Structure 1
Amino acid sequence: MSISFKAKVGLVILTTFLSLSADRSLAQQNLQFSQYVFNMLAVNPAYAGYKEDLYANAIYRKQWVDFPGGPQTGGVSIDGALASSRDNRVGLGLQVMYDKLGPQDATSIYGMYSYRIPLNEDGDKRLCLGIGAGFTQYGIDGAALLYNDQNDPAIPTGHATTWVPDARFGVYYYTSKWYVGASVMDLFSLYTDGSRYYWKGYQYEVLRKTQHLYVNGGVMLDLSENLKFKPSILIKEDFKGPTNVDLTAMFLIADRLWAGASYRTGVKLWSKPALASDLEQLDAVSAMIQFNITSQFRLGYAYDLTISKMASYQSGSHEISIGYLFTGKRPRVTSPRYF
């Protein structure tokens, strides 16, 4: 099969992502958001209901600007604690995500349930256990690939899709000053039959995701009356590719403006035979800003500057997010929710 230049670009993109995961079964990495620190439902189902009042969030990320077929990701979520549950112990959430990478795409919908155990009278210190369940529709668009050999059976003539069920589990502990959490995503990936990804006898396992472990934590420090500092860390492990680490530092000015940066890199925590020894560890640095327009409405933006060898082929990444807290006439939360 003779493939055109545009098709080769798509293959380069896929190869780049596969090299990041270094997974011999051709599974891909999970989604990555720089602004996860403002809505951790994306990385932990136990976070559902943290703000107690109903909270809606929307986010869009355009990665590797000017790079043909670069990833685009968007999503909306909503979560809150059930007022009818004792001590607001039950948190519920819903998340819909869409991700596109060259000719392939994935659309997922997850429902979240969190049981939030209060550990003090004020209820601002809790141990939360969460689960999530849903489906992901994986797709590949044969029409997006240009090729010279007509009617090649290896390429779908249209948009081929398949639905795959999945689940996630998480633990989240927080106080008014610090938090720590851990979650396992894509629990069913180890048991998904590869035959789901066949098209006319050809296998597209590149669409499959692999199981991920997330571990994160952060703390809120008072520097002065109008200045607070929140450092945090996120460790993402897929057990095959390099371990990814996000180090984030945010300053809160006058309880209105968040400003800070994060550094994303790969680290080698243990030996992984399938991982190339010369794989580059550097990834990106991000500048972030979030403005609390009102006590309920916030707007955030992040710009990622790639510092790996991909830097000369694209113009960075843009990410914008919007959040709204539906407090009603009598807000249930009197203490600030910084995480």
Structure 2
Amino acid sequence: MKAAVIFFRYTTGLFIFFLAVQTGNAQQRPHYTQYILNNYILNPALTGIENYTDVKLSYRNQWAGFPGAPQTFYASVHGAIGKQDYRTTPTSFQVPGENPRGKAYWEEYTAAEPHHGIGGSVVNYKTGYISRITATVSYAYHLGLSPKWNLSAGFAGGFTRFTIDATKAELANPIDPAVGSLTTEFRKTRPELSAGLWLYSDKFFAGVSAQQIIPQRITLVNNDQYKGSALVPHFFATAGYRFMAGEDVNIIPSVMFRYISNMPSFVDVNVKAQYQDRVWVGGNYRIKEGFAAMAGLNISNTFNVSYSYDINNANYLLQYMQRGTHEIVLGFLIGNKWGDLCPRRVW
């Protein structure tokens, strides 16, 4: 009986994962619900977009309750080089009682001076006994197009390390010939390259990017009869608009389109409402897949935190056998000398 339970848990976890890959999730790369807080994780053109060094830490527990369900951790950091601060005097500090993101603030918005940005990220994406660690460094150049508009272009390069640890499989026997051919660990390293463009102003942003640009094939078993899987480029296009709902509330609807070769297209619709500079709530709808609720708090001018919860409705088996997806993001603003509580250039 115990062996049967282990077999069920193991095969169910693998079945759900491969079913998701075949029916639409195609998770060669991890999903993020709160990418609207850190578009840098998808587009290197945002490198150095702010007046401070932006650090983000995130943990995502996808399809909670499934054995071997995906888990993602990432750390990202980026900052500007040679950027002239848009503020020149201490009188630019917030006046008590005023909305720091009120109408007057945005009327005085000016495009950033041309400057460079550098950064880096590490992403650990794990599914069962399969682990993928991607480490990249990025560069971007930001150009002023008009008094309120900027355009930036960036790229990121590094490597991805694939690891299979068969000793962590709950059922190690020849039922799966690929797993049965492994006794300890198997590793492969591949180059990683991404690039993007980002257009932004006081009210609008839009960007396009591509990850995993270099098409290649990866074989994660030491058995010549397996041809492996193709690593294909992932393309992203996003846009959003900010408008005021009164003096104290900013509302930012946005949309993201994802394209992966030989897979259905994905469309995300988001909305975020922020009260002054302190607290925000939002929602995400991933068409034909599910929806999520989000909330965040800007605790100080050096730290913020946010949380999201996803419900998947793309597949009945997933819907009834899992307990949603949890994602938390911690943000640190280093060198934020003018006391901004939230980003000026990205919302």
Q: TM-score, length-normalised on structure 1?
A: 0.84
**Residues 274-321 of structure 1, C-alpha deviation per residue, up to 9 Å, x if partnerless?**
xxxxxxxx2111000011111331100000012222110100010000
Q: Which moved more, 1:212-221 or 1:88-97?
A: 88-97
**Corresponding position of 2:71:** 72
Deviation at 1:202, TM superposition (A): 4.6
**Corresponding position of 1:264:** 286
Choose the corresponding residue for 2:131, options 75, 96, 105. Answer: 105
Deviation at 1:89, TM superposition (A): 1.2
Contact 2:278 2:341 in 1 (8 A): no
Deviation at 1:264, TM superposition (A): 0.4
**Corresponding position of 1:199:** 222
**Corresponding position of 1:20:** 23
Deviation at 1:120, TM superposition (A): 3.1
Contact 1:47 1:128 in 2 (8 A): yes
Given the superposition, is the C-alpha separation of residues 102 and 170 from structure 1 closer, same or farther in structure 2, using an over 3 Å criterion?
same
List runs of 5+ in structure 2 lacking aligned partners. Answer: 85-111
Indicate yes or no: 2:166 matched with 1:142. Answer: yes
Given the superposition, is the C-alpha separation of residues 142 and 110 from structure 1 closer, same or farther in structure 2, using an over 3 Å criterion?
same
Given the superposition, is the C-alpha separation of residues 303 and 330 from structure 1 closer, same or farther in structure 2, using an over 3 Å criterion?
closer
**Corresponding position of 2:301:** 295
Which residues in structure 2 correspond to 1:82-97 (within 5 Å)? 82-83=81-82, 87=113, 89-97=115-123
Choose the corresponding residue for 2:211, options 168, 185, 191. Answer: 185
**Corresponding position of 1:322:** 330
**Corresponding position of 1:275:** none
Deviation at 1:53, TM superposition (A): 1.3
3-state SS of paired residue (2:253): strand
3-state SS of paired residue (1:5): helix
Deviation at 1:77, TM superposition (A): 0.3
| Aligned residue identity for 1:47 | L
3-state SS of paired residue (2:136): strand
Indicate yes or no: 2:29 matched with 1:30. Answer: yes
Deviation at 1:118, TM superposition (A): 1.2
Q: Distance in 2 between matches of 1:162 and 1:52?
A: 38
Indicate yes or no: 2:17 matched with 1:4. Answer: no
Q: How many residues of Structure 1 are paired with residues of Structure 2 in the alignment?
A: 312
| Aligned residue identity for 2:258 | K
3-state SS of paired residue (1:16): helix
Deviation at 1:106, TM superposition (A): 0.2
Deviation at 1:172, TM superposition (A): 0.5
Q: Distance in 2 between matches of 1:231 and 1:321?
A: 20
Q: Distance in 1 between matches of 2:81 and 2:264?
A: 39
Q: Distance in 2 between matches of 1:201 and 1:334?
A: 52
CA-atom RMSD in angstroms: 2.7
Given the superposition, is the C-alpha separation of residues 91 and 42 from structure 1 closer, same or farther in structure 2, using an over 3 Å criterion?
same
Q: Distance in 2 between matches of 1:6 and 1:305?
A: 21
Choose the corresponding residue for 2:292, options 283, 286, 291. Answer: 286
**Corresponding position of 1:304:** 310
Q: Distance in 2 between matches of 1:237 and 1:137?
A: 24
**Corresponding position of 2:260:** 238
Deviation at 1:52, TM superposition (A): 3.1
**Residues 242-269 of structure 1, C-alpha deviation per residue, up to 9 Å, x if partnerless?**
111110011011221110111002xxxx
Contact 2:242 2:253 in 1 (8 A): yes
Q: Distance in 1 between matches of 2:341 and 2:142?
A: 15
Percent identical pairs in the alignment equals 27
Q: Distance in 2 between matches of 1:334 and 1:229?
A: 14
| Aligned residue identity for 1:69 | G
**Corresponding position of 1:210:** 232
**Corresponding position of 1:129:** 153
Q: Distance in 1 between matches of 2:43 and 2:343?
A: 22
Contact 2:182 2:222 in 1 (8 A): yes
Deviation at 1:239, TM superposition (A): 2.3
| Aligned residue identity for 1:147 | A
Q: Distance in 2 between matches of 1:302 and 1:113?
A: 29
**Corresponding position of 2:40:** 41
Q: Distance in 2 between matches of 1:258 and 1:134?
A: 34
Given the superposition, is the C-alpha separation of residues 157 and 34 from structure 1 closer, same or farther in structure 2, using an over 3 Å criterion?
same
Q: Distance in 1 between matches of 2:15 and 2:343?
A: 49
3-state SS of paired residue (1:294): coil
**Corresponding position of 1:279:** none
Q: Distance in 1 between matches of 2:70 and 2:139?
A: 29
| Aligned residue identity for 2:54 | Y
Contact 1:29 1:238 in 2 (8 A): no
